[in-house]
Amino acid sequence: MASTRDIRRRIRSVKNTAQITKAMQMVAASKMRKAQQAALAGRPYAEAMNRVLSSLANRVGSISHPFLEKREIRRPCALVISTDKGLCGALNTNLLREVGALPKETVFVTAGKKGKQFVARMGRELLADFDVKDDASSYKIKQISQFLIEQYLEGKIDSVSIFHTRFVNTLVQKPERTDLLPIGKLEKLQAGTGEHSESAIQPDENLQYIYEPSGDEVLSALLPAYIHFQVYQLVLDAKASEHSARMVAMKSATDNAKGMIKDLTLEYNKVRQSGITTELLEIATAQMAMA
Amino acid sequence: MAGKLRLVVVTPEGKTFDDDVEQVVMPGVEGQLGILPGHVPLLTAIQPGELDLKAGSRGDELAVGGGFAEITGDRVTILTDMAVKPEDIDEHAVEKALESAKQALLEKKAGPEAAELMALIQRSTAQLNLKRKRRTQI
């Protein structure tokens, strides 16, 4: 049986761990609130963009744009939006499991260190890695989508899918795949999270828009904006997921540490008590022998 | 023309402006564009510049980045990547950003970064112009 001093030392170390996880939980909680607000702030923009896109889709029937054309896919590209740090439960594991199942010819672009490390470990081809901080501005994130657009237009990649974690609520985050390029059918476009399609406002059929300079030109300016926004929104979603997952993971770590402290304290008291009992017995026996 | 115009300015970061106005002047790609209530439905691209609006006796301005404007009879929706009120513009910070962007552009003449830098320069210039105009008026 462990000595009382060993147990005391263990209690102390578990207490320290609990303090750290508690602090991390607090930090993650405040970051989570901010990230969730940022993710929600994009909603009005998404709705307005959906309205404009669908009105254009009705009007400009058959338009040819590189983003809309399907071509033979020889080099698919996957954008993996992961976290930089661990300690967020199974978030990255779940996401990367899907990434690992991709065909061999897939090339990768990553945002977040975990995804980058994973791609390197698998020995896959990494096109670029972007560093996305928590307070990343839309311009920063635009670099990612700009890079993807250029690679796509140059024909270096033939399709782009995004692997990211969808923020459902604080307790649930779902790894998901969103196909970005080619866009395919215009009518099906849903900017933003794509989840709130019921709130998408249907364009008024009677409104015949005038386009300036022209429908085609507005559309070809709008499609890149749509791509940029989509990537931006998914990165924010991933950030919200990350901080929620970390908060939950740290909360359960704190709870576990507390449980452990309780068990260890009980153990400590038992050992101490049995030590005292033995000592008393020894004294009593010694006294009886003397008498 | 007693009607009102609902002006909504949205960026990916959130709603910047949402109120009734009487007139909006926006920087369209083909020149300044004045919108009054009852305008025909119009969908246009806008370039970085100033957005002037009039509501009652009050006039207001916003520095906006590139984007789109959707105009229906009584509603103007501006989708842009930047919208700043003059009082929120930090002149020194913008000047600094503009300077460093110009420097960086000299080194990188082409490529994706150059395009992004150009956009940054345009946005910064729009902000500075608005801020300076504001000051000469006062």
Query: How many structural domains does chain A have?
Result: 1
Residue to test with chain B: of A147, A209, A226, A233, most B Cβ within 10 A: A209
Rounding to the nearest 10 degrees, give the CA dihedral for residues A178, A182, A187, A190.
Answer: 30
The predicted model scores a pTM of: 0.81
Residue A133 placed within a domain? yes
Nearest C-alpha of chain A: how many angstroms from B138? 32
pLDDT band at B113 (very low <50, low <70, confident <90, very high): low
pLDDT at residue number A14: 96
pLDDT at residue number A15: 96
B25 touches chain A (CB under 8 A): no
pLDDT at residue number A185: 63
pLDDT at residue number A194: 45
Adjacent-strand bridge partners of B10: B15, B79
Adjacent-strand bridge partners of A109: A79, A128
Residue B56 pLDDT more than 80? no
Residue B26 pLDDT more than 70? yes
pLDDT at residue number A205: 53
Among the partner-chain residues A44, A139, A147, the one whose CB lies closest to the CB of B15 is A44
Both tokens of residue A242?
């990350």
pLDDT at residue number A198: 40
Give the per-residue SS3 of B114-131.
HHHHHHHHHHHHHHHHHH
Low-confidence ranges of chain A (pLDDT < 50): 193-201
Residue A219 placed within a domain? yes
CA-nearest residue of chain A to B17? A44
Task: State whether B42 and A210 contact (CB < 8 Å).
Answer: yes
Closest CA to A180 of A154, A157, A156: A157
B96 touches chain A (CB under 8 A): no
Residues in chain A closer than 8 A to B30 (CB atoms): 212-213
Residue A63 placed within a domain? yes
Residues in chain B closer than 8 A to A139 (CB atoms): 81, 116, 120
Both tokens of residue B20?
């009734």
**B65-106: per-residue pLDDT in tens?**
888 898 887 889 999 888 888 777 777 788 888 888 877 777
pLDDT band at B112 (very low <50, low <70, confident <90, very high): low
pLDDT at residue number A63: 65
Q: Where are the alpha helices (DSSP H) in B31-111?
A: 91-107
More confident residue, B133 or A47: A47
Residue A17 placed within a domain? no
Range of the domain at A212: 27-247
Residue A291 placed within a domain? no
B70 touches chain A (CB under 8 A): yes
Among the partner-chain residues A52, A147, A204, the one whose CB lies closest to the CB of B43 is A52
pLDDT at residue number A54: 75
A56 touches chain B (CB under 8 A): yes
pLDDT at residue number A193: 47
CATH code for the domain in which residue A130 is found: 3.40.1380.10
Which B residues in the span 43-62 are in contact with A, Cβ-Cβ below 8 Å? 43-45
Residue A79 placed within a domain? yes
pLDDT at residue number A187: 57
Task: State whether A218 and B45 contact (CB < 8 Å).
Answer: yes
A225 touches chain B (CB under 8 A): yes
pLDDT at residue number A199: 40
Residue A2 placed within a domain? no
pLDDT at residue number A30: 94
Residue to test with chain A: of B30, B43, B78, most A Cβ within 10 A: B43
**Rounded distance between C-alpha atoms, residue A80 and residue A181, angstroms:** 15
Residue to test with chain B: of A37, A43, A45, A236, most B Cβ within 10 A: A45
Which of helix, strand or coil describes residue A31? helix
Per-residue pLDDT, averaged over B39-43, amounts to 87
